[in-house]
Amino acid sequence: MSTSVRIANIVDELCRRQDDVLKELDQLDRQIEQVLMSLAPKAEPAVVPIPIPVPAQQKAA
């Protein structure tokens, strides 16, 4: 096998590995975005008072 063929094979392998790494980085980036979105503050629902009936005996106390 000539030197140029070996170099071409090495370059091809490096490019393949680089593609794999870039795909993994994209996946990690998406996961980080999902985590950050889940941590973002969300609007609190308006507090609505719920009336609780109080017996007359407790009102007198």
CB burial of 23-51 (b: ≥16 within 10 Å; e: otherwise) equals: eeeeeeeeeeeeeeeeeeeeeeeeeeeee
pLDDT by residue for the chain (61 residues), tens only, comes to 799 999 999 999 999 999 999 999 999 999 999 999 998 888 777 888 888 888 877 666 5
Is 51 a domain residue?
A: no
Is 31 a domain residue?
A: yes
- Structural domain count of the chain: 1
Domain that holds residue 33: 1-40
